[in-house]
């Protein structure tokens, strides 16, 4: 069944992963700008990263029939140094009109610090200024509940339309608030943190299938770029039909991402 | 009464998932046993282990929403941003909570 993995860091994955994802039915990926596992030593490192996301990865994906889209920003883990972060943010506008760029992301918080919040607010303002979609990273583990609330408050204070924001990495303790406030919600399928495929299906069963999607967030750490089709298997073995799989992994991504005029993975 | 949102019957859920969760339960037990056998003590006092032990009774307290309640137990419940981030990593339990 064709599907979209709306959050996966293919710069950290091998070409074999593109091949396996294509064999499993993946027709499109969207790749947020993120932390590379180390702090970059200069804004120039981000300039090259943005070139990789907008020039190299689309070509690599296309060899397997996968449409590649991306999001640009400075991630919250490298946002503590406000001066450094502002230099990176200043690079983003010149890339925004490239054909595979969807919007600003994954912005958010990591340790919920004051400086992270300042940079989050400035990147929300950037998205508003250029009328772009927003993809939000919520913090890890014990910091997620507080961070999710701070992020939603910052978005509300900025007057952002919740329907143009996807708040990612929701779990059982954050999903209700995200959906209740009108945002889209993403569930990330990881082996040890975030959601397992089983828990993601539990959440869909309890909170419904509107304004929600699943993603692998495959990257350089423990992760599985095939976790999305594995979650489809989990849906089917519980007796859910192909319509639910299509709703979560095709129709919902198409509806949210389709708000960006350049997002046309089906041609 | 929790709403019946899972399309499977109770016996079907047990058949599908029991072995997986039996293994996870034994993993928790073996982890605690391993802490007992360490060459130097200190593991049991770690906030993460204390939080884990506080979470276990929630599994059998007879109330629903166990996953949500455990995640909330492990969370930072303060509301103000911290002055500065001195680390990029998270622990898995709130270091300021007296578990």
Q: What is the pLDDT of residues A29-63, one digit of tens each?
A: 999 999 999 999 999 999 999 999 999 999 999 99
Give burial (CB, 10 Å; 0-12/13-18/19+) of B66. middle
Q: Which residues, in sequence order, are bridge partners of residue A184?
A: A166
Residues of B with CB under 8 A from a CB of A: 3, 5-8, 16-17, 65, 67-68, 71-72, 74-79, 81-85, 87-95
Strand residue runs (E) in A33-175? 67-72, 101-108, 133-137, 165-167
Judged by a CB distance cut-off of 8 A, whether residue A171 touches chain B is: yes
Q: How far off is chain B from A194, nearest CA to CA, in Å?
A: 11
Element (H, E) at B10: helix B10-36
Residue A118, pLDDT score: 98
Helix (H, G, I), strand (E, B) or coil at A75: coil
Contact, A231 vs A25, CB < 8 A? no
DSSP tally for chain A: helices H, then strands E = 11, 8
- pLDDT at A264 exceeding the cut of 70: yes
Contact, A32 vs A70, CB < 8 A? yes
Instruction: List pLDDT tens digits, range A76-127.
Output: 999 999 999 999 999 999 999 999 999 999 999 999 999 999 999 999 999 9
d(CA B22, CA A51): 48
Q: Do B85 and A149 touch (CB under 8 A)?
A: no
Contact, A257 vs A263, CB < 8 A? yes
| A window 127-146, beta carbon within 8 A of B | 139-146
Mean pLDDT calculated for residue range A241-260: 98
d(CA A30, CA A102): 8
Residue B1, pLDDT score: 63
Residue A191, pLDDT score: 86
Nearest chain B residue to A236 by CA: give it: B7
Residue B36, pLDDT score: 96
ipTM comes to 0.96
Residues 6+ apart with CB under 8 A from B99: B47, B50, B51, B53, B54, B93
Residue with tokens 């990881």: A190
Residues 6+ apart with CB under 8 A from A39: A77, A78
Question: Which residues of chain A are within 8 Å of residue B73 when distances are taken between CB atoms?
Answer: none
CB pairs A-B closer than 8 Å: 90
Furthest CA-CA distance within chain A: 52
Residue A239 region, left (φ>0) first, then alpha (ψ -120 to 50), else beta? Answer: left
Q: Do A238 and B8 touch (CB under 8 A)?
A: yes
* Angle of CA points B4, B8, B10, to nearest 5°: 80
Judged by a CB distance cut-off of 8 A, whether residue A51 touches chain B is: no
d(CA B76, CA B13): 33
Contact, A157 vs A177, CB < 8 A? no
Domain locations in chain A as residue ranges: 3-257
Contact, A43 vs A94, CB < 8 A? no
A133-137 and A3-5 strand pairing: unpaired
Instruction: List pLDDT tens digits, range A196-219.
Output: 999 999 999 999 999 999 999 999
Contact, B81 vs A114, CB < 8 A? yes
Interface test with A, best of B17, B28, B90, B97 (most A CBs within 10 A): B90
Q: Which of A113, A206, A240 sits opposite B82 (nearest CB)?
A: A113
Q: Do A113 and B8 touch (CB under 8 A)?
A: no
Q: Candidates 3.40.50.300, 3.50.50.60, 1.10.490.10, 3.20.20.140; correct CATH number of A3-257?
A: 3.20.20.140
Instruction: List pLDDT tens digits, range A165-194.
Output: 999 999 999 999 999 999 999 999 998 888
Torsions phi, psi of A71, nearest 5?
-125, 145
- pLDDT at B41 exceeding the cut of 90: no
Give yes or no for a cis peptide into A167 (omega within 30° of 0).
no
């Amino acid at each position: 069944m064709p599907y979209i993995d709306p959050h996966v860091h293919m710069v950290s994955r091998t070409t074999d992963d593109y091949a396996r994802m294509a064999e499993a039915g993946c027709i499109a990926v969207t790749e947020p700008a993120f932390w590379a596992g180390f702090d970059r030593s200069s804004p120039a490192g981000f300039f090259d990263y943005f070139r990789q996301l907008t020039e190299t990865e689309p070509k690599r994906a296309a060899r397997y029939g996968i449409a590649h889209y991306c999001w640009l920003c400075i991630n919250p883990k490298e946002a503590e140094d406000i001066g450094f972060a502002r230099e990176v943010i200043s690079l983003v506008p010149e890339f925004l009109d490239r054909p595979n760029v969807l919007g600003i992301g994954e912005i958010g918080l990591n340790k919920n610090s004051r400086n992270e919040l300042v940079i989050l607010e400035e990147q929300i303002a950037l998205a508003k200024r250029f009328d772009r979609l927003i993809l939000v990273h919520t913090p890890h583990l014990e910091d997620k509940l507080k961070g999710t609330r701070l992020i939603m408050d910052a978005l509300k204070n900025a007057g952002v339309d919740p329907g143009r924001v996807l708040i990612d990495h929701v779990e059982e303790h954050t999903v209700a608030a995200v959906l209740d406030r009108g945002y889209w919600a993403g569930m990330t399928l990881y082996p040890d943190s975030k959601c397992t495929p089983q828990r993601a299906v539990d959440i869909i069963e309890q909170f419904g299938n509107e304004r929600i999607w699943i993603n692998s967030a495959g990257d350089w750490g423990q992760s599985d770029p095939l976790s999305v089709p594995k979650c489809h298997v989990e849906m089917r073995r519980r007796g859910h039909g192909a319509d639910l799989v299509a709703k979560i992994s095709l129709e919902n991504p198409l509806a949210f991402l389709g708000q960006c005029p350049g997002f046309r993975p089906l041609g | 009464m929790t709403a019946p949102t899972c399309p499977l019957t109770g016996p079907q859920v047990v058949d599908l998932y029991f072995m997986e969760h039996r293994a996870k339960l034994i993993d928790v037990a073996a982890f605690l046993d391993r802490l007992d056998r360490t060459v130097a003590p200190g593991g049991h006092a770690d906030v993460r282990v204390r939080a884990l032990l506080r979470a276990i009774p929630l599994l059998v307290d007879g109330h629903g929403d166990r996953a949500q309640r455990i995640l909330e137990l492990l969370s930072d419940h303060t509301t103000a941003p911290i002055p500065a981030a001195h680390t990029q990593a998270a622990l898995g339990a709130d270091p300021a909570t007296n578990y």
